[in-house]
Structure formats: C-alpha cells, structure tokens
Homo-oligomer: A and B are copies of this chain.
C-alpha cells in the first residue's frame, strides 16, 4: 500500500471511509480483549504448578544452616535462596536481601525510607525543599507512580536502543544536588525491550552525582526473560561496574521471580553494596521479623539451582515467542511502509513499544477501547501520564491467548490507521498538498 503520507486528500478520504466501515464491524463484535498489562498467561502459570508440590507435609522444612523455616527469624533470607537469586541477578549472595513477594514494594520501601530517614546519614528527603528523579522515557508507569506519590519531581530523559541519553544523565546529576535517583529497567526495558549497552552501563557506574545520596534504581525485572535461545541481550553487571569505578554504593538492584514462577507469590530481592545493605537491615529489623521463608525454600527446592530456573524460562519463552512474533508480523503486514508508526522488536521482556504519529496515541487507545480492546493508557509510559508527543503506546502481548491477541492486534492496527488518517485530514498536511 502507498504510504499515507504520500496520499492525496481524496485518497485519504477514501481510505478513512473504508477504515470506518471496518471499525464499525469490530465494534459490532462486542469484543473484550486486553493488551494492557504485563501479565503472564494461563499456560505460563501452568508450567510452574510443580512449585505446589515442592514442599509437602512430609518434607523437612529445615534449611541448610539448620534453621526451621516454619518459625520466626532470618531477616534477610535463607542462604540457599540468596544463592539462587544471586545467580539470577548475577550478584554475590552476600550482597542480597530477600524480601516478600513484590519488588515494587521493595522499591516503594526504598524510596519511603529515603523520604522519612534519608540514606545513610543524609538529610531525609521529606526535609528537603525539592527532590528530583530522572525518568528515562518511555518507561514503567508504576515507577513513576511511586516517585509521583512522594512529590518527587520527575525529569524525563530520552531513551535510545542503547539506553538513556547518558550525556543528559551525566550533566544533570553532576549539576543538580536535588537529583537523588534515576529509574532504570536496564534489560528488555519496559516498554521498548531495549537493553543498555556496555558503554551505557559503564557511564552509569562512572557518574559523578552532586548528591551524595544519589542512587541508581536498577529494576532488573527481566534479567532472565529471554524469548530466544540464540538471540539474547547481554547486560553488564552494574554492581561490579560501580565497584570498579569507585562508586560501590551508588546502585540498588531490584529483581523478582514474579514472571518466573507465580506473580504475587514469588520472591523479590534487593542487591547492593555491603554498606547500603547494612543500613537497610538496620531499618527493616524495625519493620518486620522477616519474609516468608517457606516460600523461599519452595523456590529453592523446586528449581534446585540457576540451571533449573533457566530451563524453566525456556518454557516461558516457548509460550511467549509466538505472541511476540505475531505482533511483529501483524504490525509489519498492516503498518509497514505506511509511515504512520514505529515499533520496537525486542528479544526478551514483556512489551513492545509503539509510536504513532504525534498527537495520535490517546485517540488510538480510545478507539481501541470503544471497540472492546483495552490497551495501557496513552501517556502511562511518561511521568505524570503526560506524553508530550502523545505518541507512545505500550503493547503487552503476553496475557491474551494467541487467537485473542490476533484479534486485538487487528483492532489495534485498524485504530492506528484510522487515527492517523483522521489526524492527517484534520491537519490537512499531506505530501501531495505540501508540495
């Protein structure tokens, strides 16, 4: 098909009529489809059912150091869970705290603690006039939700396939003492599926922040979440990179098994320097007696070791690969060459990032909704839910069954076309007329 941008007004008018007719057909179907959240699908949950047998009433629920996992105690996690999660996050097990089921909650707590008490002797953020965070965009809405809730000013930093714009990051953190952190999803980023290059990671490690309590919030949510055996992104390990650069305390690493075993019933963890962890331990001992050790033991007994976990991830990949491939296929077939959209093509993670023509994202998401297809809200990938271009849409293809995904994609591409042509007609800017 001719790129829309090359069409005459008449051709666009014809196209929009055809698109509207098709849209009405979908509206009549009473669809209820959802591509909004990064949720595993039923088949993915099924592959972890063995977890439910990993412990039973005949099992010895004692861990390696002799601790009875059924009782109180062990603030930072049992040793064997630290080894397993350490291998998952490429972290020395001594530099880990195992938490409850939610890495989001760990991040919230980390911000909340800095807000109420400060980081290692620095002024509590609640006592400062202004606290700012750098937010690579588009990014993860729930990150922005936390910093927004604490009144932290969020400064967008553009993302590229190599990671955040490091010139900007370096300059801002060096200049502005109010900048206390940056949100990162460094591998298979949410929503693009980009992985930071080695150079980007090294530049992070070498940052010279003005604020002593500046921390990199390194949410490695998709560290082992590959789609392919033979095409995988590789991420330089940031904690070691920071150590080598003489900034050992500059990073908090977060991860969880939410998308490895059962979301909501997994293990979350924080990896950091000994100094950071010692400080955090001194606080969490006030907060809780300790996380659920039986669930830690359940994970360890089920996976045995990181190889068990990696094999398990291959089963996830086998389920997700066709879905991601379908997204690429349908977007390419329907939108390729039309000049009205660009999208990422990740080899891991949970999302595809789609950029419409400027000013079309909200319209597209609204049209999808009116045709029964729920997408992540337009703007959600930006701080304050404000996408200045109104162009980014996050596609989450994991949850729907593949036939529903196909139908949802049909609706999506149709809505992209419809919104784009409508926009072009409204703005009356076609190549044909401009020339």
A interface list, Cβ under 8 A from B: 37, 39-40, 42, 45, 48-53, 55-57, 59, 61, 68-73, 100-102, 104-105, 108, 112, 115-117, 124, 126-127, 142, 145-146, 149-150, 258, 262-265, 283, 286-295
Instruction: Collect the chain B residues with CB atoms within 8 Å of residue A51's CB.
Output: 57
The reply to whether A289 and B104 form a contact with Cβ atoms under 8 Å apart is: yes
The reply to whether A50 and B45 form a contact with Cβ atoms under 8 Å apart is: no
Instruction: Collect the chain B residues with CB atoms within 8 Å of residue A264's CB.
Output: 69-73, 289-294
A351 to chain B, nearest CB (A): 15
A338 to chain B, nearest CB (A): 35
Known: A70-B45, A112-B116, A116-B150. A289 touches B263 (CB 8 A): yes
The reply to whether B294 and A265 form a contact with Cβ atoms under 8 Å apart is: yes
- For A294, the closest partner residue in chain B by CB is B265
Instruction: Collect the chain B residues with CB atoms within 8 Å of residue A263's CB.
Output: 70-72, 289
Q: How far does the alpha carbon of A127 sit from the alpha carbon of B116 in the complex, in Å?
A: 11
Question: Could you say how many copies of this chain the assembly holds?
Answer: 2
Q: How far does the alpha carbon of A258 sit from the alpha carbon of B149 in the complex, in Å?
A: 31
Instruction: Collect the chain B residues with CB atoms within 8 Å of residue A59's CB.
Output: 52
Known: A52-B59, A294-B265. A71 touches B288 (CB 8 A): no
Instruction: Collect the chain B residues with CB atoms within 8 Å of residue A149's CB.
Output: 117, 283, 286
The reply to whether B291 and A101 form a contact with Cβ atoms under 8 Å apart is: yes
Q: How far does the alpha carbon of A263 sit from the alpha carbon of B150 in the complex, in Å?
A: 32
Instruction: Collect the chain B residues with CB atoms within 8 Å of residue A295's CB.
Output: 265, 292, 295
- For A150, the closest partner residue in chain B by CB is B116
Instruction: Collect the chain B residues with CB atoms within 8 Å of residue A142's CB.
Output: 286, 289
The reply to whether A72 and B115 form a contact with Cβ atoms under 8 Å apart is: no
Known: A52-B59, A265-B294. A145 touches B286 (CB 8 A): yes
Instruction: Collect the chain B residues with CB atoms within 8 Å of residue A53's CB.
Output: 56-57
The reply to whether A37 and B72 form a contact with Cβ atoms under 8 Å apart is: yes
Known: A49-B57, A53-B56. A262 touches B116 (CB 8 A): no
